[in-house]
Amino acid sequence: MGISETILPAGSPAGRNARREDEALLRAAADLAREFSQPNAAIYWTDFGLSALVGYAALAGAILSASPLAAIACAILSILALYRAGSFIHELTHIKHSELPGFRFGWNALVGIPLLVPSFLYENVHTQHHARTRYGTVQDPEYLPLALMKPWTLPVFVLVAALAPVGVLIRFGLLTPLGLVIPALRAKTVASFSAMSTNPAYRRRPPEGAFRRIWLWQEAASCVWAITLIALVATGVVPLRAFGIYLAVLSGLMIVNQIRTLVAHLWENEGEPMSVTEQYLDSVNVPPPGLLPELWAPVGLRYHALHHLLPSVPYHALGAAHKRLVAMSGPESAYHAGNHRGLWPLVARLVRSTMGVRPATQVTEQTSG
């Protein structure tokens, strides 16, 4: 496999101010979307089911192990496996549920409710991130110009994720029941504490229609689980050690996801609407041959830039679509500029940007073949 380099103008991402579309790339993406759009139910259920099984078995091992080293090893395995299982929430926002009947319910029953991250927190939110007129603007729930912000924003960004397990316990165990008797609190909870969003200014509208019913049953189940868990710990039925390990595993997978989010985009847009090509160039692929991205960016998230071109393509087809685009894209294609080497070079780039260190040229490596 050869490595090629594309030198891009300063002030990128990848020449974002050019305001031009790579028409050939978009035509190829449209063809691939039609070819690879069908989800394979067997792959979804098998991958998700095994990930959840391994995650919970490892969590039990961490709780029951008498050896500190064995408990730590089991906890790490549980974090990675449950993180993979939890990452299917991203697929839930894009798939047609008629093509994977029961998957939303199964995901919430096995992962969403037990981990207190029901899918309504992401459904009808993430799709706004893909809206052409919203991406990278103040109306995007999942965008902050992190590269243009102060260096202290990055550790705070990660710290928020570390504290998320406590936050969701409060959200579902306290705010949900109190909201039943305090309408103003309920309105605030829906608007400000009911979305997995990156943008703190994002405010969510109350749910309507069929989605309202989906929201309410998921929220009710999460509320019952949160209150039950707190009661079991308070009465000593669930030992504090077991509860602490549960919270630590949740915190660990939230941290991994937040670090992955740090490198999902280049975060260099200042709030202006962006073309589809510019949105792609502001997003990140970390394609093979590296293996570690399968751990920190599972379920197709290593092809995040490609996903912005092909949001309807299921995760298991993104690798084949990537190979096809690499093979058919000429050296002038914008597609190559979205492919990056790995996690730490991207983190280092982001840190340098927050410190005001902006290189005169941007070098993006991509793996051909």
Tell me, what amino acid is at 181? V
CA distance 163 to 141: 20
Tell me, what amino acid is at 94? H
What is the per-residue pLDDT for 3?
26
Q: What is the pLDDT of residues 216-245, one digit of tens each?
A: 999 999 999 999 999 999 999 999 999 999
Three-state DSSP string of 199-243: CCCCCCCCCCHHHHHHHHHHHHHHHHHHHHHHHHHHCCCCCHHHH
Intervals of the chain under pLDDT 50: 1-19, 360-369
What is the per-residue pLDDT for 357?
77
What is the per-residue pLDDT for 81?
98
What is the per-residue pLDDT for 178?
98
What is the per-residue pLDDT for 195?
96
Work out the burial of residue 60: count CB atoms within 10 Å of its CB; fewer than 13 is exposed, 13-18 middle, 19 or more buried. middle
What is the per-residue pLDDT for 271?
87
What is the per-residue pLDDT for 6?
30
What is the per-residue pLDDT for 358?
65
- Whole-structure pTM value: 0.90
Q: What is the pLDDT of residues 88-104, one digit of tens each?
A: 999 999 998 899 999 99
**SS3 at position 195:** coil
For the CA atoms of the chain, what is the radius of gyration?
21
What is the per-residue pLDDT for 15?
43
Q: Which residues, at least 6 apart from 245, have a Cβ–Cβ distance to it below 8 Å? A: 59, 62, 63, 71, 75
